[in-house]
Structures are given as structure tokens and as C-alpha cells.
């Protein structure tokens, strides 16, 4: 069937293909975990150097499944790379090219584009996105629940796209662009509390799996991590001076967590999802893919991911306007 072929082409872009796809007649459940600005060496399964952050849950996918070393992103920016994943088209063909949507954008993924979620709903799947959307938010018909997803818990754009608590973006001179947390089409928290965002994401994902099992429906979970994109710069500090997540889960320096601690937090979320799949007895009938959108944002230096063996010049010497 064409729809299944399309899905296969899209999933072929992934890095890690874990768990076994069932030899059952049942439709397989599908989980796509999509990291934000993650580097090649940020996943310890790709590095033998012990100084790098350990990611045991994600590594398990490589150990029990298939690890892909040859990977190409659909684009070097957040919005276009996500549009490529969800539509199976290069961004220049689906209209999301060449940059990411800003917090003031009045448009989104073109309404004539069909997503994986649209196709899978036609096949009887329950569909959910947890995490970062970044394909349009100013009008409700651009939100995920209008693009094939039954439900959404997450943020509308990248972590540096709006002010978060006492973190201020350079573009937000009036301190009014507070980052919202959405539940479907409603803002349920603004500004979002980063300290417990990982727990919110994990609960939304595991509750969706549990609900789908109870309803006896195959499911598609798009776990679009907000991790490990840099936050806005702290109010009285340079962007390079302090990193990342105001997490209390792993940080001994709360409320300012390091980049590696944000990687640990992402790995913890992945682990909670894998536990729920096992608890529900779905391991033999669930396809799980973990991948990243476009590689590390290396101009953030110590606050960015590890590029590994790649050249990694993206945003290293050019401004957004030049790109």
C-alpha cells in the first residue's frame, strides 16, 4: 500500500531502530523520538569516550535494535527538518524552506500537505504528539490537532523563541513573549515551568500509550523533545555564560542545569516511554525510532552538542540572516 511505503521512506531517515517489529497480523505501534539540536556524540552509543554523557535508555535501542551510522537530515534548521520527517518531502517541496518559524510567524505547514499522522489516522491509529511542534501556531488550523494528531501536550516552537521565567531573548525587548505550554489547542501554562517539563512530557506520553491500549487501538506517538535546544539567555548573563535547562531532576546546580544534564533528562523521558511499552506488553509489536533533527547548534559552544566526526560548521561562522 502506498501509505505504508511512504511511512517506510520517512522512517528510513532515523538513526536507531530498536525493539523488534512483530510478526503478528496486528498493526504495529509506532513511536518516533525526535531530539532537538542533538549532536552525534551526545548519545553514548556513538562514542567510546567515557567523558561524554551516558544515555543508557537510548543506548539500549542501539543494543537491542539497529544502529544507523549513515544519516542525513532533511534540513539544517528546526522547522524544515520537522516538516521533512512528517511529510516525507524535502522542505523545498513542502513549503518550509529555508529557515525556522519565529514566535511571530503568521503561517505554518501548508494546509495542503499531508502528515504521517493524517495517514495513520485513516488506518485506525490513535495519534499523539508530545513536545515541540514548530510548524505553525498563530492560527488554530496550524496546530498539531488539525494536522492529524488526536492530542498534543507541548511547546509551540524552539526553546529560545520566547522568554521563559527570568530568561530573556534578545528579540523580546518588552518581555512579553512568554513561552506557553499547550494542551491540544489551549494554553494551560504560561510561562511554562521548565523545572518539571520532563515529568509533564513523560506523563503525557505514557498516559497516551495506556489509553490506546485500553481502547485497543494501534498508536503513533511522536515524542518531539524540546531537549536539547538552548534556552533564552539568563537576564543578567551572557548566553555563553550559563546553559540550558532550569531542571531540578539531575542538576546539582539548580536552577541552572548544564547541557549534559539536559541530555540525561531527555534520556530519562525515553526510558519512561520504553518502560510503559514493556509494562503494556507491546515490545514485540512496537516500532521505536530515535533520531535528531539537524545536529548541534555549535555556535553555542559549551552549551551545544558534540558534533563527533563531522565538520559541524552550521551556525559556526554565519548569522541567521546570512543563512
Helix (H) or strand (E) segment spanning residue 17: strand 16-17
Tell me how many helices (H) and strands (E) the chain has.
Answer: 7, 11
- 21 by Cβ neighbours in 10 Å (0-12 / 13-18 / 19+) ranks as middle
Query: In the chain, what are the helix, strand and coil shares in percent, each to the nearest 5?
Result: 30, 15, 55
> pLDDT tens, 108-147?
999 999 999 999 999 999 999 999 999 998 888 999 999 9
Q: What is the pLDDT of residues 236-248, one digit of tens each?
A: 555 444 555 656 5
Q: Given a cut of 50, is residue 40 above it in pLDDT? A: yes
Measure the CA–CA gap between 237 and 250, rounded to whole angstroms: 22
Q: For the chain, what are the domain ranges?
A: 2-19+29-303
Q: Which CATH architecture has domain 2-19+29-303?
A: 3-Layer(aba) Sandwich (3.40)
Kindly tell me if the per-residue pLDDT of 6 is higher than 60.
no
Just list the catalytic residues.
Answer: 78, 134
CB 43 within 8 A of CB 59: yes
SS3 144: helix
300 sits in which H/E element: none
**Distance, CA of 137 to CA of 3 (rounded, Å):** 27
pTM, rounded to two decimals: 0.87
Question: Could you tell me what percent of the chain has a pLDDT over 70?
Answer: 74
The better pLDDT of the pair 49, 31 is held by: 31
Amino acid at each position: 500500500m502506498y501509505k505504508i511505503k511512504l511511512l517506510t521512506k520517512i522512517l528510513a531517515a532515523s538513526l536507531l531502530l530498536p525493539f523488534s517489529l512483530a510478526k503478528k497480523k496486528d498493526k504495529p505501534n509506532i513511536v518516533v523520538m525526535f531530539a532537538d539540536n542533538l549532536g552525534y556524540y551526545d548519545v553514548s552509543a556513538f562514542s567510546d569516550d567515557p567523558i561524554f554523557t551516558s544515555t543508557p535508555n537510548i543506548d539500549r535501542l542501539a543494543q537491542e535494535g539497529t544502529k544507523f551510522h549513515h544519516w542525513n537530515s532533511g534540513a539544517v534548521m528546526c522547522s524544515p527538518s520537522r516538516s521533512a520527517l512528517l511529510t516525507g518531502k524535502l522542505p523545498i517541496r513542502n513549503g518550509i524552506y529555508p529557515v525556522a518559524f519565529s514566535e511571530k510567524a503568521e503561517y505554518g505547514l501548508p494546509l495542503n500537505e499531508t502528515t504521517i499522522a493524517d495517514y495513520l489516522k485513516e488506518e485506525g491509529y490513535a495519534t499523539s504528539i508530545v513536545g515541540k511542534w514548530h510548524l505553525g501556531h498563530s492560527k488554530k488550523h496550524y496546530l498539531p490537532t488539525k494536522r492529524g494528531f488526536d492530542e498534543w501536550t507541548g511547546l509551540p516552537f524552539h526553546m529560545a523563541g520566547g522568554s521563559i521565567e527570568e530568561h530573556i531573548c534578545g528579540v523580546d525587548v518588552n518581555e512579553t513573549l512568554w513561552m506557553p505550554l499547550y494542551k491540544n489547542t489551549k494554553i494551560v501554562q504560561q510561562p511554562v515551568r521548565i523545572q518539571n517539563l520532563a515529568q509533564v512530557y513523560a506523563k503525557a506520553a505514557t498516559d497516551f500509550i495506556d489509553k490506546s491500549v485500553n481502547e485497543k487501538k494501534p498508536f503513533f506517538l511522536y515524542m518531539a523533545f524540546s531537549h536539547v535546544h538552548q534556552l533564552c539567555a539568563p537576564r543578567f548573563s551572557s548566553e555563553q555564560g550559563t546553559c540550558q535547562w532550569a531542571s531540578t531532576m539531575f542538576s546539582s546546580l539548580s536552577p541552572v542545569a548544564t547541557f549534559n544534564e539536559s541530555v540525561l533528562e531527555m534520556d530519562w523521558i525515553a526510558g519512561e516511554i520504553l518502560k510503559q511499552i514493556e509494562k503494556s506488553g507491546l515490545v514485540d509489536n512496537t516500532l521505536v525510532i530515535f533520531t535528531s533533527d539537524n545536529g548541534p547548534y555549535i555556535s553555542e559552544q559549551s552549551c551545544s552538542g558534540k558534533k563527533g566526526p563531522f565538520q559541524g560548521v552550521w551556525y559556526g561562522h554565519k548569522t541567521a540572516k546570512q543563512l
